[in-house]
Amino acid sequence: MNELKIALQSLKMSVRTRMQYRVDSLVATLAVFIRESANIIVIYLALLKFDNINGWNVNEMLFLFSLLFLTYAFVVSLFADLRDFSRMIREGRFDRLMVRPRGLLFQLILNNADLMASAGHGTLGILLFLISAGKVGICWDFATILYYLGAIIGGVLLQGGMFIFFSSLSFYFLETNSLREIFYWNMRKFAGYPISIYHKLIQGLLIYVVPFAFVNYFPAQYLLRKPDLINYNEIYIYIAPLVGIAVYLSSYLFWRVSVRRYYSTGN
């Protein structure tokens, strides 16, 4: 299959590129790992003093975090070009994709993989999962594992969809980094905590606007059933994997409409 060959060739190129800067790649991976660990260290230290946060203990918190990191490891290896899309537009590199006979999103997704970020997030995610998964009282039977995998895939699609959405905004606005900063990066940071602790406004944002709650909170709730679930409609924990698909598809449609603007303005 031709598409697969493109994917393999792109991956081979990404790996070979990184191999040329071995030390730098290693330091970068480590830096990502340490940077992302900061939040974990802080929550760990805080729970030494405060014991729990709205009923969630340390291990449950680590499990909640692990879903964020595991999904992001896939997101950043697939959607790296969409993460840096406004720069791509500014530097005129998007023009190149337009003169190739392939779908634009297809090329963007295959083009580039941020392997260091992926390794950093992935390692941390696996580590947190290993530490916490056995201690939070989940019975890992077939149905649970199936749900868990579905939730991971849904989480990847959901965040990929958000990257596509924010990239589409680059066709309308010159600078979209500040929007991304608030609505992606910060919201993702906030999603590390059980969303029930937040002001209603923030909860609304995390469920209906930038639905990170479906990446980790609701899937974790399906498995953990903490008492604060009572604040939400229980259906949310069952549809969590589907929300990712819905977000991805609607972002894709928005992209299709928005990319037309590039034809009219260029960069």
Partner 1 sequence: MENIIEIQGVKKYYKIAKREKGTFMALATLFNRKYETKKAVDDISFSIKPGEIVGFIGPNGAGKSTTVKMLSGILYPDAGTIKINGFIPYKQRKQYVKNIGVVFGQKSQLNWDLPLIESFELMKYIYRIPQKQYEENLDLFIQLLDMEDFINQPVRQLSLGQRMRGDIVASLLHSPQIVFLDEPTIGLDVVAKERIREFVRYMNQIRHTTIIFTTHDMQDIEKVCDRLIMIDKGKKVYDGSIQEIKNKYANFKSIELLLEDGSKELKTFDVSVTPMSAVMEQLFSEKKIKDITICESEIEDIIRDIYEGRVVLAQPEAERN
Partner 2 sequence: MRAYVEFAVKKFQDKMAYRLDFFMGIVNTAITILVYLCIYKALYGDAGEVDGISYPMVATHFVITLGLSNAFHYNEMFLQDKIRDGTITNEFLKPVSFILRLLAENIGEGAFKIIFHFIPALLITLLYTKLCPPVSLLGLPVMFCSVALGYLILWLISFIIQTWSFWLFSVWGIITIKNVFVSILSGSLLPLWFMPEPLQKILSFTPFESIYFTPVRIYLGELSGRETVFALAVQAMWVALLCVIANMFWKKGTKKLIVQGG
Write out the residues near partner 2 by the rule CB under 8 A.
21, 23-24, 27-28, 30-32, 34-35, 37-39, 41-42, 45-46, 48-50, 53-54, 173-179, 181-182, 186, 190, 193-194, 197-199, 201-202
Nearer to partner 2, 98 or 209 (CB): 209
Angle, to 10 degrees, between the axis of helix 115-132 and the axis of helix 22-50? Answer: 30
One character per residue 131-170, x = contact with partner 1 (rule: CB under 8 A): ----------------------------------------
Closest CB 66 distance from partner 1, rounded Å: 33
Closest CB 184 distance from partner 1, rounded Å: 24
Choosing among partner 1, partner 2, none, which partner's interface includes residue 144 (Cβ < 5 to 8 Å by kind)?
A: none
Q: Which two tokens stand for residue 171?
A: 């066709």
Cα–Cα distance for residue pair 261/180, rounded to 1 Å? 20
Q: Which two tokens stand for residue 40?
A: 């974990």
One character per residue 238-267, x = contact with partner 1 (rule: CB under 8 A): ------------------------xxxxx-
What residues form DSSP beta bridges with 53? 56
Type of residue at 34: I
Please report, for residues 99, 104, 139, 171, 214, the alpha-carbon distance to residue 266 in angstroms, rounded to integers and kept in the order given.
13, 15, 54, 9, 35
Is residue 16 near partner 1 by the rule CB under 8 A?
Answer: yes
Cα–Cα distance for residue pair 213/220, rounded to 1 Å? 10
Nearer to partner 2, 42 or 249 (CB): 42
**Among 202, 204, 192, CA closest to 232:** 204
What residues form DSSP beta bridges with 56? 53
Out of 17, 52, 144, 186, which residue is the one contacting partner 1 (CB under 8 A)?
17
Is residue 9 near partner 1 by the rule CB under 8 A?
Answer: yes
Choosing among partner 2, partner 1, none, which partner's interface includes residue 142 (Cβ < 5 to 8 Å by kind)?
A: none
Beta-carbon neighbour count of residue 234 at 10 Å? 12
Q: Which residues lie closer than 8 Å to 123 by C-beta, 6 or more apart?
A: 29, 33
Is residue 98 near partner 1 by the rule CB under 8 A?
Answer: yes
Q: Which residues lie closer than 8 Å to 140 by C-beta, 6 or more apart?
A: 133
Cα–Cα distance for residue pair 244/143, rounded to 1 Å? 19
Nearer to partner 1, 11 or 245 (CB): 11
Out of 27, 31, 35, 92, which residue is the one contacting partner 1 (CB under 8 A)?
92
Give the footprint of partner 1 on this chain (CB under 8 A). Answer: 2, 5-6, 9-10, 12-13, 16-17, 20, 91-93, 95-96, 98-103, 107, 262-266
